[in-house]
A and B are shown apart, each in its own frame.
Chain A
Amino acid sequence: MASTVIEGYRQVAPHVRTEGDAIVFDANGVYYRQLNDAIRQAVEAGARRIIIENANGQRYIGAGLQVKDLAIEVRGTAGNDLAAFMDGPSIEVFGNAQDGVGNTMASGKVVIHGDAGDVLGYGMRGGRVFVRGDVGYRVGIHMKAYESLVPVVVCGGKARDFFGEYMAGGMLVLLGMNTQFPDDPIAGGFLGSGMHGGVIYLRGAVEPWQCGKEVGIAEASDADIAALTPVLKDYCDSLGLDIDEVLSAPFTRIAPVSHRPYGKMYAYL
């Protein structure tokens, strides 16, 4: 561990107990470094089920972990950059998550039973993130796909501005259902601005002025619904929701007009 002085935080390892095959950490008052250190050590020692109790905003849970069959359960609030650069594990949060969930995540699954904050799925290149409730600003920015790596983010509530900005691949879904903001539009402005790959599905409608000029807006076709259904099934199974209800309203498809949005902007000296 680096010799940094970390002011104001107790430098203590979390209390550990076992519960069946799971290792349970009590995160109450534990600084993120000690918590994540303990998680990494447990994973290295062979733990495949980890429960974090009393999570209260500890950052970077799951960051950089590369174990496929690892399941982490977070009880409480997960802090910023949950599952950042993660490749493989599944994380289930019984509570809310803060900003930066799934930052540049490569594969794995994150299920959040509450709401999530800003920049969810930034640069995400694989895996799935499912949020039951609302999400913040700049969700799905720079999501990108490559060959078999196709990221999927489904948000059950409403989103703020810049949803899917610069999106280059993958699938972003916004349902507008479990929301604290029933009177707000389903998404804010600048939706898909600079988008040059991937697809966004909205359960409901957006006005063209809400969207970037780089995207086209259309009603979802039967083929779209066919592509969407297995994803929504997984989403509903993961969160105990009713797929028939989710599919009972029309969806809007938003996709880029060009893969080369800036192809004609320059003159070569």
Chain B
Amino acid sequence: MPATFIQPEFRVKIDYDKCHKCGRCVQQCGWGVYDFNERPVPHDEKCRACHRCVTFCPAHCITIERNPLAYRENDNWSAPLRKAVWKQAETGGVLLTSMGNPQPYPRIFDHLLLDACQVTNPSIDPLREPMELRTYLGRKPDAVQVEPDGAGGYRLAEDGGMSRNIELATPIVFSPMSYGSVSLNVHKSLAMAAERCGILMNTGEGGLHEDLYPYQDHVIVQVASGRFGVGPDYLKRGAAIEIKIGQGAKPGIGGHLPGEKINKEVSSTRMIPQGTDAISPAPHHDIYSIEDLRQLIYALKEASGYKPVGVKIAAVHNVAAIASGIVRAGADYIYLDGFRGGTGAAPAVIRDHVGIPVEIAVAVVDQRLREEGIRNHASIVAAGSIRSSADVAKAIALGADVVAIGTAALIALGCHVCQSCHTGSCSWGITTQKPELTRRIDPEWGAERVSNLVHAWSHELQEILGALGVNAIESLRGSRERLRSIGLDEQTNRILGVKPAGM
């Protein structure tokens, strides 16, 4: 019998008439697709269509095609399903994959349209008028406290206002991606970009490498169930602390960095020995209730001098009630991660079938917190496949204060969404720890590209605000009247709190 029934998904074609035989494709491919025998010889079965070789081939003579191999058509037993069964019949393993959910579920963002001003309420020209994108992450007081300013007037009292809020120059932060899942150069790129853009990056659950200490005022430090890299110093360095309960790509599933990826540097940042599995199971074993969560929130506040503490959860059914509990437990922000969120590694069955869209989660959480009169007690961060400034604006109109971007930032760094991060061989040097690959990202270059992306989206947000006739992003928050839906059913419209187009 053959070793496998699985046929290559892609075909690598080289136009040997044009090929310089320079060998760059061989050297660029992280997955070892190419042999070199007087000329490059590709092994199709290893290709993941990441386009690294295509991008670097000086002769532009490589094309990668979907293998046109005809599977007998069947809408029910699709080729990927057949492939999955073969793979499991061969290995007996849980199918592991990465990046976001690629299934064709409806994308609600793409069924929402932003409104615009016309005659009675004029739009604003963002090129001439100031447009405020600044926003604040953290609990807002129920009432501001003022004190005499000594000159007959009043000013905001030092602790009576928003002193513990984090100012963001634009309503975007970087999603948590741990050092270990991504390379140190990616972390540096994001930290430098966060500083330049006046926003925040997030360590994820892998600890804070000392090279990031200079940027610590722009870093959220994460505390997950495995408590990797967590110590009092770590907690005191971050601008805010985030308790990770869940992740959109794998709700209810913990993190697991295989031992072979725990090299010396990763081991020192996580503070675990080299080569052991880094296991952070889904539950924190000290959190079995909202009261337990409150205990951890306040333990972190006590240990850090009352820094803002956020809680990240995956968007799931009943998320509004969960969020209400989290806010009442004292969280300063709540991070909602939708089912299209990215990941470095997740069981495919979980990534593709568990969770709900972030659009719904944001809308119901915002609504519930308003009804309960506690919306000001915490900010809402929305994440899980924010792909453009339009998604940012729509998420904010649905009720978010801030959005987090992960995959988009990686795409800015070269990621081609080949969904192979879990192999640890990313040819773009992003989700790998192999030194010959990680050095492909120069932090300075990376910071420039990611900052450009954030600046570009920020300008677009200003354009959107101008079109909507508002001059501050905070005026857009939860303003669903500025959205119309198209092609969504009545019930979804009601849950989102959005009217259909034409009404």
Inside 8 A of B466's CB, which chain A residues have their CB?
Answer: none
From A64, A104, A106, A168, B272 is in contact (CB under 8 Å) with: A168
A142 interfacial by beta-carbon distance below 8 Å:
yes
Tell whether, in the assembled complex, residue B91 and residue A3 are in contact, meaning their CB atoms are under 8 Å apart: no
Known contacts A122-B285, A142-B227, A169-B273, A262 near B256 by CB under 8 Å: yes
Binds B, one of A19-27, A79-87, A223-231: A79-87
Inside 8 A of A122's CB, which chain B residues have their CB?
Answer: 227, 285-286
Tell whether, in the assembled complex, residue B141 and residue A259 are in contact, meaning their CB atoms are under 8 Å apart: no
Min CB distance A129 to B, Å, is 15
Bound CA–CA A244/B422 (angstroms): 53
B32 interfacial by beta-carbon distance below 8 Å:
no
B253 interfacial by beta-carbon distance below 8 Å:
no
Bound CA–CA A240/B234 (angstroms): 36
Min CB distance A98 to B, Å, is 10
The list of the 8 closest CB pairs from A to B, nearest first, reads A64-B303, A267-B93, A123-B227, A267-B91, A85-B303, A266-B96, A60-B302, A63-B302
Known contacts A59-B298, A64-B304, A85-B232, A2 near B164 by CB under 8 Å: yes
Bound CA–CA A86/B230 (angstroms): 11
Question: Could you give, for residues 186-211 of chain A, a 1 whenever the CB lies within 8 Å of some chain B CB and a 0 otherwise?
Answer: 00000000101100000000000000
Chain A contact surface mostly: loop
Within 35-83 of A, Cβ neighbours of B (below 8 Å) are at 36, 59-60, 63-66, 80-81
Within 272-293 of B, Cβ neighbours of A (below 8 Å) are at 272-273, 275-277, 279, 281, 285-286
10 contacts between A and B (CB under 8 A): A3-B141, A59-B299, A64-B232, A85-B231, A106-B231, A123-B227, A138-B286, A259-B277, A269-B84, A269-B87
Inside 8 A of B295's CB, which chain A residues have their CB?
Answer: 59, 80-81, 100
Min CB distance B140 to A, Å, is 10
Query: Which chain A residue shows the least CB distance to B93?
Result: A267
Query: Which chain A residue shows the least CB distance to B161?
Result: A3
Tell whether, in the assembled complex, residue A106 and residue B232 are in contact, meaning their CB atoms are under 8 Å apart: yes
Known contacts A197-B276, A265-B94, A267-B96, A146 near B302 by CB under 8 Å: no
Known contacts A63-B299, A103-B299, A141-B285, A266 near B279 by CB under 8 Å: no
Query: Which chain B residue shows the least CB distance to A87?
Result: B232
Within 244-279 of B, Cβ neighbours of A (below 8 Å) are at 256, 258-259, 267-268, 271-273, 275-277, 279
Q: A36-B302, A125-B231, A166-B285 are in contact. List 18 more A-B contacts (CB 8 A).
A: A2-B159, A3-B160, A63-B303, A87-B233, A100-B286, A103-B286, A123-B227, A123-B230, A142-B226, A142-B285, A144-B272, A162-B285, A197-B273, A263-B258, A267-B90, A268-B423, A269-B97, A269-B419
Known contacts A81-B299, A146-B272, A119 near B93 by CB under 8 Å: no
Known contacts A1-B306, A84-B303, A269-B87, A263 near B298 by CB under 8 Å: no
Bound CA–CA A240/B406 (angstroms): 55
Inside 8 A of B231's CB, which chain A residues have their CB?
Answer: 85, 87, 104, 106, 125
Query: Which chain B residue shows the least CB distance to A33?
Result: B302
Inside 8 A of B272's CB, which chain A residues have their CB?
Answer: 144, 146, 168-169
Residues of A participating in the B interface, judged by any CB pair closer than 8 Å: 1-4, 32-33, 36, 59-60, 63-66, 80-81, 84-87, 99-100, 103-104, 106, 119, 122-123, 125, 138, 141-142, 144-146, 149, 162, 165-166, 168-169, 194, 196-197, 259-269
